[in-house]
């Protein structure tokens, strides 16, 4: 593995609000696939055979939420002249690296699209209706900085009815809890980028040293699991980092450690372990919230990597079939769907409530929705600043995730009310 490929592993940030948003190691060239040697023939076979002969998936999983026969996650982006539900001027919850308009992004076309499922319409989130339905309830978002992106979007939407109070944050502002007093409604971000227990440190050069326990979940979320009525959970791009893997506190392998006398198990091995352990915990727990498993988020770097001039300068969505992701992203998505199906089948026998929140496909079609170079106020483009092609501008495509979560939650509450009559 070349020095450049090793450097790719350092690109993801630590998720703290005071740090620049993380970017990802992936791009959409053959170089990325070749860069991960273990993917080789196995990955090609896995993706090709699972897709029934088509190398890349062109449609979301058919296990997405269905309401009256409608899969909310299968559809396309269509023009939306009415624009976003909020702006950077009307919302104070936007982190500076996601405030693309304030930071000088010149185009506005990315604001005027909405997601249209194939066989139904997706209503825009009704903040008042949602807050009334969530009275005396709590949501937990378990994962990495992408969930902070989503949580801030949600705060922007809901603050049109009532502003939230920040009632908790850890030292690094990674885990945070917001409270809507009039509704006794809580919205929390639980920092667990691996879902598993991880020992993460940085050396003097800011390089990560990560030890991941494949047999233990991160207590940040498991200790609070019983506090929530709704949970969205997801793994993410942290699994692509150089990492040592442990079981029973003993090193059993790694990802990307050629200088060590340790077997390279690959990041897909660790990710599968993380999902299996997480789903087992959810299934075996006596507490039965509605758990939405959010699928993989691909980046949109083009013409290079994050460290070599990669950019995301498109100004409109991809059309169907124009871009279907790369081999690594598709492999991770298929792995997720496979493990979700296993868990859902087992969980259905003991009242476990699991839904696939399959945002992979709809997010894949939005290369225009990222900050790009506009992570900071009026960047000097002549100096080719580092682009963020993973996180989302606010407002932006991530608002649709909350439209989807809202309609799923409202349908869930309606279903409960009907069953009690």
Rounded mean pLDDT, 147-166: 98
- Which value, to the nearest 10 degrees, does the dihedral of the CA atoms of residues 141, 70, 58, 150 take? -20
Share of the chain above pLDDT 90, in %: 76
Residue 86's DSSP bridge partners are none
Residue 69 pLDDT > 90, yes or no? no
User: Around Cβ 384, how many Cβ atoms within 10 Å?
Assistant: 11
pLDDT digits (tens, 9 = 90+) for 276-318: 999 999 999 999 999 999 999 999 999 987 778 899 999 999 9
Active site residue 14: no
**Catalytic entry in 14, 229, 329, 388:** 388
Q: Residue 66 — very low, low, confident or very high, per pLDDT cuts 50/70/90?
A: low
**Closest listed residue to residue 412, CA positions, set 309, 288, 267:** 288
**Catalytic entry in 28, 213, 300, 391:** 391
Q: What is the pLDDT of residue 203?
A: 80
Contacts of 322 (CB under 8 A, 6+ apart): none
Residue 59 pLDDT > 80, yes or no? no
Rounded mean pLDDT, 338-360: 98
Tell me the whole-structure pTM to 2 decimals: 0.86
Classified as helix, coil or strand, 381 is helix
Q: CA 192, CA 237: separation in Å to the nearest integer?
A: 12
Active site residue 391: yes
Q: What is the pLDDT of residue 32?
A: 43
Q: Which domain holds residue 17?
A: 3-419
Residue 23 pLDDT > 60, yes or no? no
Q: CA 78, CA 121: separation in Å to the nearest integer?
A: 11
Rounded mean pLDDT, 95-107: 98
- Domains held by the chain: number: 1
Q: Residue 202 — very low, low, confident or very high, per pLDDT cuts 50/70/90?
A: confident
CB 295 within 8 A of CB 337: yes
DSSP-H helix ranges across 224-359: 267-284, 327-347
Q: How far apart are the first and last CA of the chain?
A: 62
Rounded mean pLDDT, 150-171: 98
Residue 374 pLDDT > 90, yes or no? yes
Q: What is the pLDDT of residue 60?
A: 61
Rounded mean pLDDT, 8-34: 38
Residue 45 pLDDT > 70, yes or no? no
Residue 337 pLDDT > 50, yes or no? yes
pLDDT digits (tens, 9 = 90+) for 125-153: 999 999 999 999 999 999 999 999 999 99
Q: What is the pLDDT of residue 259?
A: 85
Residue 178's DSSP bridge partners are 166, 187
Q: What is the pLDDT of residue 320?
A: 84
Least confident span in 62-76, 168-182, 253-267, 283-297: 62-76
pLDDT digits (tens, 9 = 90+) for 226-242: 999 999 999 999 999 99
CB 57 within 8 A of CB 330: yes
Give the residue carrying structure tokens 């709809």: 362
Q: CA 210, CA 218: separation in Å to the nearest integer?
A: 14
Q: What is the pLDDT of residue 39?
A: 39
Residue 201 pLDDT > 50, yes or no? yes
What angle, rounded to 10 degrees, do the helices at 145-158 and 398-419 form?
Answer: 70
Please give, one letter per residue, the 3-state secondary structure of 54-101: CCCCCCCCCCECEECCEECCCEEEEECCCCCCCCCCCCCCCCHHHCCC
- φ/ψ region of 309 (left if φ > 0, alpha if ψ in -120 to 50, else beta) reads left
Classified as helix, coil or strand, 127 is helix
Q: CA 299, CA 314: separation in Å to the nearest integer?
A: 13
**Catalytic entry in 22, 65, 144, 145:** 145
Question: What does the chain come to in residues?
Answer: 421
**343 or 48: whose pLDDT is higher?**
343
Q: What are phi and psi of 180, to 5 degrees?
A: -105, 100
Q: What are phi and psi of 94, to 5 degrees?
A: -85, 125
CB 359 within 8 A of CB 401: yes
Q: CA 86, CA 91: separation in Å to the nearest integer?
A: 7
Contacts of 14 (CB under 8 A, 6+ apart): 22, 172, 174, 200, 202
CB 105 within 8 A of CB 372: yes
Share of the chain above pLDDT 70, in %: 83
């Amino acid at each position: 593995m070349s020095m450049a490929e090793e450097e790719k592993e350092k690109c993801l940030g630590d998720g703290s609000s005071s740090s620049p948003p993380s970017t990802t190691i992936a791009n959409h060239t053959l170089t990325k696939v070749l860069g991960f040697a273990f993917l080789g023939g196995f990955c090609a076979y896995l993706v090709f055979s699972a897709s029934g002969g088509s190398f890349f998936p062109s449609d979301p999983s058919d296990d997405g939420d269905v309401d009256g026969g409608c899969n909310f996650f299968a559809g396309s982006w269509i023009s939306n002249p009415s624009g976003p539900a909020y702006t950077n001027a009307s919302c104070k919850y936007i982190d500076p690296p996601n405030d693309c308009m304030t930071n000088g992004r010149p185009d506005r076309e990315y604001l005027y699209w909405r997601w249209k499922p194939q066989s139904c319409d997706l209503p825009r989130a009704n903040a008042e209706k949602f807050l009334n339905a969530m009275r005396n309830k709590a949501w937990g978002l378990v994962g990495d900085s992408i969930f902070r992106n989503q949580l801030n979007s949600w705060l922007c939407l809901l603050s049109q009815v009532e502003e939230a109070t920040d009632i908790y944050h850890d030292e690094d502002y990674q885990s945070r809890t917001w409270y809507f007093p009039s509704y006794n409604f809580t919205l929390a971000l639980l920092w667990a980028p691996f879902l598993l227990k991880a020992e993460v440190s940085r050396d003097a050069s800011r390089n990560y040293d990560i030890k991941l326990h494949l047999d233990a979940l991160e207590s940040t979320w498991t200790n609070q699991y019983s506090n929530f009525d709704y949970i969205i959970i997801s793994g993410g791009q942290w699994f692509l980092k150089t990492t040592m893997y442990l079981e029973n506190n003993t090193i059993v392998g790694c990802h990307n450690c050629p200088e060590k006398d340790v077997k390279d198990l690959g990041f897909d091995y660790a990710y599968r372990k993380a999902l299996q352990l997480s789903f087992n915990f959810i299934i075996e727990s006596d507490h039965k919230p509605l758990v939405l498993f959010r699928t993989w988020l691909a980046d949109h770097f083009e013409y290079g990597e994050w460290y070599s001039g990669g950019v995301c300068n498109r100004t409109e969505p991809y059309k169907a079939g124009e871009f279907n992701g790369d081999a690594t992203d598709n492999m991770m998505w298929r792995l997720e769907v496979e493990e979700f199906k296993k868990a859902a089948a087992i969980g259905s026998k003991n009242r476990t409530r699991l839904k696939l929140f399959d945002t992979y496909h709809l997010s894949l079609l939005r290369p225009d929705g990222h900050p790009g170079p506009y992570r900071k106020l009026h960047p000097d483009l002549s100096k080719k600043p580092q682009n963020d092609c993973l996180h989302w501008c606010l407002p932006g495509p991530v608002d649709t995730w909350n439209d989807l979560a809202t309609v799923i939650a409202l349908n869930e509450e309606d279903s409960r009310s009907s069953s009690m009559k």
